[in-house]
Structure formats: structure tokens, C-alpha cells
């Protein structure tokens, strides 16, 4: 690059010296063109480079790389999953998991209340039957003792007749 710049400046100086010495009238224009081309050519190359680079950036912007597309796809999947979970956990939705669990819990509470009442009724009935059995047992025991006394009297009478 430095050699190219030096050659451009040398040719511009040479052409200018030809114009000053009066050898050629074209020397002024040629020296100006040489200096202009010294800076114009790199500017044109820079412009071409910028055009190519911006078109590549535009192409990547319009048609992103595969990893960006995959990342976007995965993010959309995660977003859909989160929305599904949100619907399932919404207590205002009658088909949601939370609503179903709430209904099951209330149903279980009612069943437990009914079972507690049934157990209490059975306990009361059991206690009443135990008291009745206890009364019947006492009655049977008292009947046996009465019968035992009667038998003792009968034995006494039999013994009396045997001795007499």
C-alpha cells in the first residue's frame, strides 16, 4: 500500500514538473488526476466493502442463522408450555387442575363429615346396646339367683321328706 501511494505521488510530482517546465500542458490535469485517483480509488473500495458488508448484515437480518431460528423455536415452545400451565393452574377455569382439586377436596370434606356423623351414631347405638346387654345380664343373674333360691328351697323340702 505504501509503495502504491509513493508511486502515485511520484507520478503526480513528475506530471506536475512536466507542466511547470512547459513540456506538456496536460501535466496539470494529469497530476491532479493522479492525486485524485490516489484518494478516490480507496474511497471507492471502501464504499464497495461497505455495500457488501451491509448486504450481508441485511441478509442475516432477513434470514437469521440456524441457531437463532432454533432458539426462537425453543422459546415459542417454552412460551406455549407456560401458557398451558397457566391455564391448568387458573382457579377460575372450571376444567383446571386447581379447580378439580378444590372440588375433590370439598367432596372429601363432605364425606368425612358424613363418616364422622355415622361413627357417632354407631357409637351411640353401640353404647345403648351395651347398656341393654348389661341390664339383661343383671336381670338374668337376678333370675338365676331367684331360681337358685327356689332350688335351694326345693332341696330343703326334699331333704325334709327324706329324713322324715
Please state which of the ranges 62-76, 78-92, 98-112 shows the lowest mean pLDDT.
62-76
Q: How far apart are CA 124 and CA 117, in angstroms?
A: 11
pLDDT beyond 70 at 93: yes
pLDDT one-digit tens code per residue, 30-58: 777 777 777 777 788 889 999 999 998 88
Query: For the packed helices 2-21 and 26-62, what is the interaxial angle rounded to 10 degrees?
Result: 150
- Asked if 37 and 5 count as a contact pair (C-beta separation under 8 A), the reply is no
pLDDT one-digit tens code per residue, 107-142: 999 999 999 999 999 999 999 999 999 999 999 888
**Nine-digit cell at 102?**
378444590
pLDDT of residue 68: 78
pLDDT of residue 4: 73
Instruction: Enter the pTM of the model.
Output: 0.41
Q: Which long-range contacts (CB under 8 A, 24 or more apart) does 145-152 make?
A: none
pLDDT beyond 70 at 143: yes
pLDDT beyond 70 at 1: no
pLDDT beyond 70 at 61: yes
Q: Which residue has the higher pLDDT, 74 or 94?
A: 74
Amino acid at each position: 500500500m505504501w509503495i502504491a501511494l509513493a508511486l502515485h505521488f511520484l507520478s503526480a510530482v513528475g506530471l506536475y514538473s512536466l507542466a511547470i517546465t512547459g513540456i506538456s500542458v496536460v501535466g496539470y490535469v494529469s497530476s491532479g488526476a493522479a492525486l485524485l485517483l490516489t484518494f478516490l480509488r480507496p474511497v471507492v473500495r471502501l464504499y464497495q466493502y461497505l455495500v457488501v458488508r451491509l448486504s450481508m448484515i441485511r441478509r442475516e437480518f432477513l434470514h437469521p442463522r440456524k441457531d437463532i431460528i432454533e432458539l426462537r423455536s425453543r422459546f415459542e415452545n417454552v412460551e406455549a408450555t407456560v401458557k398451558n400451565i397457566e391455564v391448568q393452574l387458573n382457579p377460575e377455569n372450571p376444567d383446571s387442575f386447581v379447580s378439580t382439586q378444590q372440588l375433590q377436596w370439598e367432596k372429601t370434606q363432605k364425606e368425612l363429615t358424613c363418616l364422622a356423623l355415622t361413627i357417632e351414631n354407631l357409637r351411640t347405638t353401640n353404647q345403648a346396646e351395651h347398656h341393654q346387654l348389661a341390664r339383661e345380664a343383671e336381670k338374668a343373674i337376678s333370675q338365676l339367683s331367684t331360681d337358685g333360691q327356689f332350688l335351694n328351697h326345693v332341696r330343703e323340702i326334699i331333704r325334709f321328706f327324706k329324713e322324715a
